[in-house]
Structure 1
Amino acid sequence: MTVYFVTGTDTDAGKTLAASALLYAARQLPLTTLGLKPIASGSSITPEGLRNSDALSLQAQSTLPVCYATVNPWAFSPAIAPHLAASEAGQHISVSNVVAALTATLAENPRDLTLIEGAGGWRVPLNTCEDFSALPHAMKLPVILVVGLKLGCLNHARLTAEAISNDGLALAGWIGSVVDPAFSTEQARFHANIERLKNALVAPCLGVIPHLADADAAQAHGYLSLSALLDDHSL
């Protein structure tokens, strides 16, 4: 069983699309998969309870069906920072209780590949004194970084990679995700930015997802490769 934590350079960097596409690609091999989003704000009220679109996307790419609460045990309605959403809901989320829940889930649902998606970027607060980055640190998980490709992405990507390294965790790979349609893949400057990222980030590039209309995992997975993950870990 191989588990990775998926983080991004910012909110809306394309983490869910990239994670779902990796899981979809793994299913084609075929490998067993599980996608988890332990904490999610911006959830919708449904007859079954609060549901988050990112968590639903990960659930859809999980082999051997799991219930929604397994994928997303902490769901909040307002689309605000999770620690604020939890506070407004009268809940306190700590690293210890999230790690306990994830550890139990992993033990009960072993898969060839499991991806745990964070919220926002690496230093998004979990509560008033702990950050999301404390979760993979506590579980000693390798990290996959999704770089939202837009103006400023070089700085954001390098700072995030440095923070991951300074926290003592391995950057297993990174994925570029074009979040700004003006950041055209046909421009010479685009390719120059990708080459700069490949030189700056000491981890393999797992692929670059262009800006896609109505993108989904099946469409995006063709731009990604699992080969670096397969080479480094016994999937």
Structure 2
Amino acid sequence: MSAPLSLFVTGTDTEIGKTFVSAALLRGFVREGLQAAALKPIAAGAFESNGVLHNEDADRLDAASSVLLPPAIRTPYLLKEPAAPHIAAALENVTFDIARIVDCHAQALTRADIVVVEGVGGFRVPLTATQDTADLAVALKLPVVLVVGMRLGCISHALLTAEAIAARGLTLAGWIANRVVPDMTFPDENIASIREHLAREYDAPLLGIVPHLNPASPERAADQLDIDRLLQTLRHAQR
């Protein structure tokens, strides 16, 4: 039996559809017959339902998964305030421990064929005074998939994020263009520019273009993703 696979999903910014694309990836992996689980290590913005704290993003990931992790493993840090993680953590007297997240990830790998780890916000969101989400990605030692929210400024955001990923010694397994602004001008030209730069500089392929979907449907979004190519890249990176 082959070893379980995993990847770290990051984005060019917040509110660019990172959770939606992560859910689409999960649905794509499930279609391939894989037992797929989601890890959302840090989630800020929780609500109570029947005495249990929930987070909308974490719930969406669970809905797209075929393996449901215990909440304490899936989201070891669930914060109530919908704010930047280090701000929400300070309000609740919580200190993030990356080692705890690494342990949760290790437990997740024993329960699934593939684990999708969704970061929080962009690639360098602060977690503590000295650590950020890039440090988390490094500690997990995972290939990274970059979600690019297609809107004004996305080319610079994509290239800067790719540069930061490479600077940490991580593999950029590929990127996904997500059409968050349906009436964006020159979307194809923007995608072509990012595609050229990321392929030439990081050998990172475009794994799919997700159209603006209303209502949002991870199933339909999965149709646009090159899951086979991503799996090949992940298996190669594992060797």
1:1-235 equivalences under 5 Å are 1-106=4-109, 108-109=110-111, 111-183=112-184, 189-201=186-198, 202=202, 203-234=204-235
Secondary structure at the counterpart of residue 26 of structure 1: helix
Per the TM alignment, residue 72 of structure 1 is displaced from its structure 2 partner at its CA by 1.4
Relative to structure 1, is the Cα distance of residues 96 and 70 closer, same or farther in structure 2, using a 3 angstrom cutoff?
closer
Per the TM alignment, residue 224 of structure 1 is displaced from its structure 2 partner at its CA by 1.2
Residues 176-209 of structure 1 show CA distances to partners (whole Å, capped at 9, x for unaligned) of 11112221xxx6x211111111111131111011
Secondary structure at the counterpart of residue 233 of structure 1: helix
- The normalised TM-score by structure 1 is 0.92
Q: Which runs of 5+ in 2 are unaligned?
A: none
Separation (CA, whole Å) in 1 of partners of 2:70 and 2:127: 24
Q: Which runs of 5+ in 1 are unaligned?
A: none
Question: Which deviates more from structure 2 when the two are superposed, residues 157-166 or residues 208-217?
Answer: 208-217
Q: 8 Å contact 1:45–1:77 — kept in the other structure? A: no
Per the TM alignment, residue 46 of structure 1 is displaced from its structure 2 partner at its CA by 1.4
Q: 8 Å contact 2:6–2:234 — kept in the other structure? A: no
Partner amino acid, structure 2, of 1:105: A
Identity %: 40
Relative to structure 1, is the Cα distance of residues 94 and 37 closer, same or farther in structure 2, using a 3 angstrom cutoff?
same
Q: 8 Å contact 1:94–1:130 — kept in the other structure? A: no
Per the TM alignment, residue 92 of structure 1 is displaced from its structure 2 partner at its CA by 0.7
- Segments of 4+ in structure 1 off by > 4 A? none
Relative to structure 1, is the Cα distance of residues 30 and 163 closer, same or farther in structure 2, using a 3 angstrom cutoff?
same
Partner amino acid, structure 1, of 2:189: A
Aligned-pair RMSD on alpha carbons?
A: 1.6
Separation (CA, whole Å) in 2 of partners of 1:88 and 1:77: 9
Q: 8 Å contact 2:12–2:147 — kept in the other structure? A: yes
Q: 8 Å contact 2:38–2:69 — kept in the other structure? A: no
- The normalised TM-score by structure 2 is 0.91
What is the number of residues matched between the two proteins? Answer: 229
Partner amino acid, structure 2, of 1:190: P
Q: 8 Å contact 1:59–1:68 — kept in the other structure? A: no
Secondary structure at the counterpart of residue 96 of structure 2: coil
Per the TM alignment, residue 112 of structure 1 is displaced from its structure 2 partner at its CA by 2.3
